[in-house]
Amino acid sequence: MREAYIVEAVRTPGCKRAKGLLAQTRPEDLLKTALHGVMERSGVSKDAVEDVMIGCSFPEAEQGINIGRIATLMAGFPITACGATVNRFCSSGLESIAISAMKVMSGYHEVTIGGGVESMSIVPMGGNLPRPHPEWAKQDYTVYMSMGITAENVARRYDVKREDQDHFAVHSHLKAADAQAKGLFTEIVPVDAYKFVAQPDGSYKKESYKVDYDDGVQNPPDAAKMAKLRGAFSGAIPGVANSGSVTAANSSQTTDGAAATLIMSKEAMQKYGVKPKVKLLGYTVAGCKPDEMGIGPAVAIPKLLKQLGMTMEQVMKDGIIELNEAFASQGIYCARQLGFGDPKYFEFGSKDLFINPTGGAIALGHPLGCSGAKIFATLVNNMQRMGKKYGMESMCIGGGMGAAALFELVE
């Protein structure tokens, strides 16, 4: 089987739902920006692209009617460049990259794109009309459970204390704020955003502006304020350890954004005169109980390493991981289970920093179906900047799953 090479990976800024800088910018326009940006940076003609896979957790309304195809055409690709929309909830973006890479590895295509998009401001969490199956919900309601409740379950069942969750969250913001100050997020392509402003005569005027940074980062984070917040998904229960410990501050931010990754075969790179950044070594998914879906990475990563004949120690020795911060409780639990639970592996300024070196979704946002592609763009950037041989990406997935992928830097 051939190898799949990542030539370029970009993302838009991630901005807060409803009150953020991208709240009124349609998802098609966000994705169009990412798709155009990845091709512009690569220097490869859009005519070369054969297929585009786009992750989206709630592909309906403005994100519906196959946004993968629509945004591809909006971005100026020829009609020969096909498009599809992929949904594996939180790992939809990574799933899209994996599918696109597998098409190259199999020989079906030479040039593909994998990416993701989610406007949580425009299409709400759960979609516009969620309709759980009534009989199945009585038999097993956990697959429909709020992700926040599943994070509470992880904290209670596996003794993840509130103080540890808040400490993890503070360091996510510290790392992200430092990266912003140093201009490290070079994977970002600016968005020509817009909003509709009410006029004195009752009409609305469309006003445009450029957005080139993630607007949810706290600089500095207020640890004292975080500690005063009540549980967002459950009140404290007398006699129940760590109940009501998952708060708005130690959970990921709901966010708007898009991302895109250009993937090529060796022959295609030679044809178009480009060099790769990383290559895919492996990808897998694994299942877990839906009511503790946050432990997904703890089951997916060992499965991936076994498939590759590798160990976690090999990755840690010369690598980094983007462990999606859906919630601090599940991120901490997974790190502990996988052998890198010591705070030194995620703390800002640590010489042993391994987890999310420029911050994670608690500070930078989690635009659901986009996140897998979003944090991949950051991973590639950090691998190159830090000179790390290996880059791992993993996340938990609603419904009780985990996904994991391993990439290798191409010198």
Which residues are the active-site residues?
A: 90, 366, 396
Q: Identify whether the C-beta of residue 96 lies closer than 8 Å to the C-beta of residue 373.
A: yes
DSSP secondary structure letters along 95-113: HHHHHHHHHHHHTS-SEEE
End-to-end CA distance of the chain: 21
Query: If you count DSSP H runs as helices and E runs as strands, how many of each does the chain have, helices first?
Result: 13, 12
> Do you find a cis peptide bond into 220, omega within 30 degrees of 0?
yes
SS3 content of the chain, % helix, strand, coil (to 5): 40, 20, 40
Q: Which of 323, 298, 325, 289 is nearest to 400 (CA)?
A: 289
Tokens of 411: 């010198």
Q: Which of 350, 361, 351 is nearest to 326 (CA)?
A: 361
Distance CA 409, CA 391 (A): 8
